[in-house]
Amino acid sequence: MGRAVGTSVRRKDGDAKVTGAAKYIDDLTFPGMLFGATIRATIPRGEIVNTHIDLSPDYIVADYRDIPGKNYVALLDPDQPCLAEREVRHVAEPVLLVAHADRRALFGIDEQVRFDYRELAPNYDPETSETCFKQIAIDKGDIERGFRDAEVVVDGEYRTSHQEQLYIETNGVIAVPGDGQITVYGSLQCPYYVHKALVVLTGFTPDRVRVIQTETGGGFGGKEEYPSMLACHAAILAIKTGKPVKMIYDRVEDLLATTKRHPAIVRHRTGLTRDGRITAMAVDVLMDGGAYATLSAVVLSRGVIHAAGPYRCDHIRIRGRAMMTHTPPNGAFRGFGAPQTQFAVEAHMDRVAEALGIDPVRLREVNALRPGDSTATGQKLGKDASALPVLREAVKRSGFRRKRREWKGTNRGIGLSLFFHGSGFTGAGEVKLASKASLELTRSGARILVASTEIGQGTTTMLAQIVADALELPFAAIEVQQPDTDVVPDSGPTVASRTCMIVGKLLERCARDMRRKLGALTPAQYFTRHGAFTVTKQYEPPAGLAWDDQRYSGDAYGSYAWGCNVVEIEVDPVTFEVTPTHVTAVAEIGKAIHPLMAEGQIQGGTAQGLGYALLEEVVMRDGRMANAQLTNYIIPTPMDAPPIEVAMLERPYAHGPYGAKGVGEMPIDGPAPAVINALRHCGFDIRLIPATPERLMRARR
């Protein structure tokens, strides 16, 4: 049959969402349910020496002593307490929890609690920080030789700021206690991350901890690790009170307390021949991790691996550090380090082109990675390496060269960026995860059992398409189980552009096995004669994939998706406001399983990238987000959205389902450098994003 993959079937979650029937976490209620609130530290660094609580007995207060198991949020390092005991490392660090039966009784609750602190001097500057969460070094070839071969050397420093994921549904969970067990419902991306954290926190055996994902109103990485913290909080209150406890952040709390994209400082030194061939690339990447390690090590990892951009160069040296500062921890956000480093390399490439006096397209054509070339980590690229095809398609579609010529010296500008994005976990990550996926035969078809979550990107629909075709059944015959750790196997987290390529492939293998087992029978016939059965598959790395974690070399990812953006802008000379007027987004993603949803990912990621480039700024004052309101943290509105023309190229990856690679994250890698390069075309030298009108005013050349 093979009729679902490649067509834009009706998405499975659509009808419930458009009628208001879909239940998000705040739409749920349980008998006897209490509401929980968090009391947070108000200083960036110090010790709590005294706590004064002025609350009537109908309020239940919990602190770290109420934690039955261990007091840390289990993720990578056990450094972040679930509730601060004495030490405070950032503003908004959680200290106490309060529960009450009346939601409104918790309004203004923080005014009833006062802490006496012994304050210490905070540090907000990653460059002077003495605590390093992670260092990474990548060396390819001989960097000294590369610079000796250079005829021209270009240096540059580029900075990016915090960015808030700004899912429209804030973080929220409900913890329901049972007899020596706990169930947490929540808006989250990674049920098994939350499960792991709860096991550590409660000390319960894994079978007594259950996590169920509810309809999730956007994540973008912001619900990768933070829900573990929030679930632990609700669980503490639920265990203490013996009642279900709902905790929903309002927007202010969500902005103040939850993770943001890591700010970065990236320094480039690039050696080239006069005709534009890169001979050496030295890159230094510094990321601000915030107060605790959270995922900084792996964000840095993806950042440095992408830091040399999609370019061929024999001599590369990359150094990366993630440093601690006294601000709320930074964490996962779509792109996961790559948007920062690819902003830097792509803004740098246009400065290089300018220094050499050559066309930015030509510079990229000369140096773009081709099939058979090797990346910074020495990974030899397969036939699907598509830097040149996406570049050429974008240049042609957008009329780049003509506009570049005609608009010179006007208020209009056009800029491009070339980028790539590794699909799946980095290095040996997928092997360590050893994800599983299951497929269960039903009377009418099959049910997908995976922990991969639908957060808007289309997981349930896309996975069902893959299974339908591999099982040779209609799309409608495939059901998708709501992620529930009691029912679904651990398919790994829903992050890293891995769901389609990794989990999709596992399900394709499950479906092919099931197809063989069914033989000539329909599911109904088989079910009637033999009953149900379940096929489970576990991740196996494609043959030949090798990674050396000590030397940071080898096959960093199973495959890469490739992208090129061309952004056209207009600058108002009176107000320095920038209007993106058109974006051409070309993406090579192996196979568009659902073209409409893939296009939606690209458009949405591109818009988020335009916000990153021009509008979105977290104003940190004394370690606290000063603009923690939707009025003041500025994301694009419908009036700010330019037309985004998407072109998808398909060069199948042999180990992806139907050739598919990852698509979710890559679209946010390219817009910011393309905008900044368009601004350069207009006469603005910008090395720091967001490029607000205030910064533009000062950067006019």
Partner 1 sequence: MLLTINGRQRRLTVPPMARLLDVLREDCGLTGTKEGCGEGECGACTVLVDGVAVDSCLVPVAHVEGCQVVTIEGAAAAKRSAKALQNAFVEHGGAQCGICTPGMIMAALPLKAGASRDEIKTALAGNLCRCTGYISIFNSVEAALSPAKKGPPSRVALRRASAHARRR
Partner 2 sequence: MPVDARTLTLQRPRNLKAALAMLAKEPTLTPIAGCTDVLVGLHFGTSDTRQFIDLWSLDELRGITSKPILRIGALTTYTEIIASPLVQKRVPMLVAAAREIGGAQIQNRGTLGGNIANASPAGDTLPVLAAAGALIVLRSASGERRVSFARFYTGYRTSVRQPDELITAIEIPAIDGRQWWRKVGTRRAQAISKIMMAGVRSPADHLRQGYGGQEAGRHSCKVRIAIGSVAPTVVLAEAAAAVLSQGGAIGDAQAALRKEIAPIDDLRSTGDYRQQVAANLLAAFWKDTE
**Is 105 an interacting residue with respect to partner 1 (CB under 8 A)?**
no
| Distance separating alpha carbons of residues 120 and 651, to the nearest angstrom | 55
Q: Is residue 701 classed exposed, middle or buried when 0-12, 13-18 and 19+ CB atoms within 10 A define those classes?
A: exposed
**How many binding residues for partner 1 (CB under 8 A)?**
72
**Is 218 an interacting residue with respect to partner 1 (CB under 8 A)?**
yes
**Is 595 an interacting residue with respect to partner 1 (CB under 8 A)?**
yes
DSSP string, 41-95: --SSSEEEEEEEE---TTSEEE-GGG-SS-SS--SSSTTS-SS-SSEE-STT-EE
**Is 184 an interacting residue with respect to partner 1 (CB under 8 A)?**
no
Q: Is residue 10 classed exposed, middle or buried when 0-12, 13-18 and 19+ CB atoms within 10 A define those classes?
A: exposed
* Binding test (CB under 8 A) with partner 1, winner from 335, 458, 493, 580: 458
Helix (H) or strand (E) holding 246: strand 245-248
Q: State the binding string over 632-671 for partner 2 (x if CB under 8 A, else -).
A: x-x-xxxxx-------------------------------
Helix (H) or strand (E) holding 40: strand 34-40
Q: Where are the beta strands (DSSP E) in 490-574?
A: 534-538, 547-548, 553-554, 559-571
* Binding test (CB under 8 A) with partner 1, winner from 2, 14, 178, 693: 14
Stretch that binds partner 1, among 125-133, 217-225, 518-526, 568-576 (CB under 8 A): 217-225
* Binding test (CB under 8 A) with partner 1, winner from 592, 614, 615, 691: 592
| Distance separating alpha carbons of residues 483 and 194, to the nearest angstrom | 12
Span 601-620, contacts to partner 2 by CB under 8 A:
615, 619
615 contact choice in partner 1, partner 2, none (CB below 5 to 8 Å, kind-dependent) = partner 2
**Is 683 an interacting residue with respect to partner 2 (CB under 8 A)?**
no
Helix (H) or strand (E) holding 136: strand 132-140
Task: Look at the chain and count its residues.
Answer: 701
| Distance separating alpha carbons of residues 510 and 134, to the nearest angstrom | 38
* Main-chain dihedrals φ then ψ at residue 462, nearest 5 degrees: -65, -45
Task: State the sign of the Cα–Cα–Cα–Cα dihedral 524, 530, 536, 540.
Answer: negative
* Binding test (CB under 8 A) with partner 1, winner from 152, 428, 596, 699: 596
Stretch that binds partner 1, among 10-18, 62-70, 105-113, 289-297 (CB under 8 A): 10-18
574 contact choice in partner 2, partner 1, none (CB below 5 to 8 Å, kind-dependent) = partner 2
Span 303-332, contacts to partner 1 by CB under 8 A:
none
In angstroms, the first-to-last Cα distance of the chain is 60
Residue 19 CB, shortest distance to partner 2, in Å, is 21
Between 532 and 619, CB nearer to partner 2: 619
Is the N-terminal amide bond of 541 cis, ω within 30° of 0? no
Q: Does residue 187 contact residue 214 with C-beta atoms inside 8 Å?
A: yes
Span 619-648, contacts to partner 1 by CB under 8 A:
629-631, 635-639, 641, 643-644, 646-648
* Binding test (CB under 8 A) with partner 2, winner from 77, 389, 627, 645: 627
Span 223-262, contacts to partner 2 by CB under 8 A:
250, 252
Closest CA to 648 of 611, 581, 608, 596: 596
**Is 56 an interacting residue with respect to partner 2 (CB under 8 A)?**
no
∠ at Cα 646 (645, 647), nearest 5°?
Answer: 125
Span 90-119, contacts to partner 2 by CB under 8 A:
104-105, 107-111
**Is 533 an interacting residue with respect to partner 2 (CB under 8 A)?**
no
Residue 15 CB, shortest distance to partner 1, in Å, is 6
Residue 351 CB, shortest distance to partner 1, in Å, is 28
**Is 251 an interacting residue with respect to partner 1 (CB under 8 A)?**
yes
Contacting residues toward partner 2, per CB under 8 A: 104-105, 107-111, 250, 252, 573-577, 615, 619, 626-627, 629, 631-632, 634, 636-640, 693-694, 697
